[in-house]
A and B are shown apart, each in its own frame.
Chain A
Amino acid sequence: MNQENIKMVDHTVMAYFKGPAELIHAAKQAREAGYRKYDTYSPFPIHGMDHAMGLKPSVVGLVSAIGSFCFFLIALSLQWWTSAVAYPLVLSGKQFFSYQAFVPIMFELSILGAALSAIFGMFHFNKLGFLYHPLFNSEKFKAISDDGFALGIEVADPLFDATKTKDFLNSLNPIDIETIGEEA
């Protein structure tokens, strides 16, 4: 930000690279150097990056399975309670609790539950919906969604040291380095 009365503190040191291969290499180095609060930024998911960064598998799958099962139970109990308890009607001589006829809606709602929990679970883990992030203070960072590839190490990382971290990033042969700040 260019207003002078706002006090800025450093948030992330960002190193920009030429392409996906260089970024994967840099991520491996950062991990081996012991950094934990770092992340790579790219316009599309890079094949092999999760492995290079040593990320654990996403838990979105588990969340989705639980959500799906909850919706399945809701569908089952809704249909049972309304058809057999609250409003039993004789229709074509069918049983009140004719579970075979309830299968399509149980199936559809299970899918709805899986989809909703996968999406909103993903929003939660990715902190989507928080429209502000300190990285958005950088003009250069805007290239990420176009054709930029970058690795950022946060100041909050226990290993972070203003000069050493910059030297480390410089040793990875980036095309550019900048320090992105946030309002104090």
Chain B
Amino acid sequence: MSQISINKSTETPLIENNPSFHAITEKISHITETWKVPHPQMWLLGFGAALSMLALMVGSIGYLFWKGIGIWGVQIPNAWGWAIINFVFWVGIGHAGTLISAILFLFRQKWRTSINRAAEAMTIFAVMAALVFPSIHVGRVWAIYWTLPFPNQMQMWPNFRSPLLWDVFAVSTYFTVSLLFWYVGLIPDIASLRDRAKTRVRKIVTGILSLGWRGSNRQWQHYEKAYLILAGVATPLVLSVHSVVSFDFAVSQLPGWHTTILPPYFVAGAIFSGFAMVLTLMILVRKAYKIEHIITMGHLDKICKVLLATGLMVGYAYTIEYFTAWYSGNPYESFIFKARAGGQYAWGYWIMFCCNVFVPQVFWFKKMRSNLVVMFIVSILVNIGMWFERFVIVVTSLAQDYLPSSWDYFSPTFWDVSTFVGTFGLFFTMFMLFLKFVPMVAVSEVKAVLPQADPHHHEGEHQS
């Protein structure tokens, strides 16, 4: 209906080639409706690989439940091993999705519309992978629900003065709000699938999930208000969640953990690692599904700039910690930071520092920000570096605490590694299913940022 061609454009378009509204619906919705586009074998291969990794996770957890926590490398003093490292790693990755969907929305960054759906999906799956670890890392897994406040025959209640309990509330709130935010964004697009549906099953499923959406302006008005509120509350939420995660460390009294910089440092690191994961996924997805005109090089360029900025923030945090340790005059604090950079885990520290601080510096150059291979390698290196950041924080402080008699060296076991690798299986299984069955780009939002969506854009022009 609205095939208005726009010839003049004052700025670089967010979506290339200026497609019609119908072309975008067709491009994105079609992927969910057929097995034929564009590389079904590749999808099956990826899904199969992810599924076998998921099986590895299930097997590892099964063995953990059977034998107990002893199969992991944790010991005293390193009572927090890979489980907590991986938890913080995955929660951190999730944060970029919320940043893109909420904070960039409040800042009216319209370019977010091409990537926010996939980034939010990434958030949800990353938080699912994260939630695996705190749930299984307690010695008696059958009692994990005791972390929730519920009336019970023991007349006991959880300890609300503990940061670990704050974490239960913060992460579960984060998961709930992210999931609902994602679903609310999906409703108009599922309605679009409903209106296109040919088979009875699709009609029923999309009919129920779209909740009777009609796209009337009286609906859009409440919808937009609710969306704005969700963005408004998700913004402080995402900042608070990783702050609360950092309280797990900062509220304790171990050298290297007990610092006030930890909350902002964790938040910056989370956004950094999350954007790296968004970059990894988007490079692959836009290529595999031939949506390079929707997720453009301009989008990737902006992601690289965010990576550069947040990389500098974590670099600042790493450096200022040394200043604080020295300036505080606290011998334990000074010791732990010397031990990090030059002690038994120096290799881990320098992997972290190189990957997170030096590597992203390549993005000062436009040439690097338009080279897909460089971007892909950097995004992987950043996530390796961010995993090591959590490793350095968790392990160095625990391994060498106040009493030298209790010092020990932490080594992971096979089961530590297999559980962690397995959570990638969970993440990618969910993500592959998402790519296949859910519109991977927010269709209605992308339409709204096209030039012809602006009612003032072509006034007086289309008459001729």
Contact = CB atoms under 8 A, between A and B. Distances in A.
A131 interface: yes
Nearest to A146: B25
Given A43-B444, A101-B160, A149-B2, A115 B230 contact: yes
Interface string A54-94: 01011011001000100000000011001100110101101
Interface string B182-212: 0010011001101110000000000110011
Contacts of A64: 226, 229
A135 B141 CA distance: 52
A79 B195 CA distance: 48
Size range of the interface on A? 35 or more
B338 interface: no
A106 B104 CA distance: 26
Given A24-B455, A47-B455, A125-B222, A131 B217 contact: no
B155 A44 contact: no
B2 A19 contact: yes
B222 A20 contact: no
Contacts of A46: 217, 220, 453, 455
Given A42-B217, A87-B157, A21 B456 contact: yes
A128 B453 contact: no
A146 B22 contact: yes
Interface in A121-154: 121-123, 125-133, 135-136, 142-149
A108 B454 CA distance: 37
In this complex, the member of A21, A27, A112 whose beta carbon has the largest number of chain B beta carbons within 10 angstroms is: A21
B217 A119 contact: no
Contacts of A159: none
Given A43-B215, A82-B160, A107 B447 contact: no
Contacts, number: 230
Interface in B67-116: none
A104 B247 contact: yes
A109 interface: yes
A119 B180 contact: yes
Interface string A18-54: 1111011001000000000001111111111110010
B225 A128 contact: no
The residue among A108, A130, A131 with the most chain B CB atoms within 10 A of its own CB is A108
A63 to B, nearest CB: 9
Nearest to B191: A145
Contacts of A87: 155-157
Given A21-B455, A46-B453, A108-B170, A91 B155 contact: no
A23 B158 CA distance: 57
A112 B173 contact: yes
Given A24-B455, A44-B444, A146-B22, A121 B226 contact: yes
B226 A122 contact: yes
A172 interface: no
Contacts of A118: 225-226, 229-230, 233
Given A53-B217, A104-B240, A44 B448 contact: yes
Given A45-B217, A109-B173, A16 B1 contact: yes
Contact of B217 (A40, A91, A122): A40
B220 A42 contact: yes
B154 to A, nearest CB: 10
Contacts of B211: 123, 128-129, 131
Nearest to A50: B221
B236 to A, nearest CB: 7
B165 interface: yes
21 contacts: A20-B452, A39-B217, A41-B215, A43-B215, A43-B447, A44-B220, A49-B217, A79-B160, A82-B158, A83-B160, A102-B160, A104-B240, A115-B230, A118-B226, A121-B226, A122-B225, A145-B191, A145-B195, A146-B21, A148-B1, A149-B2
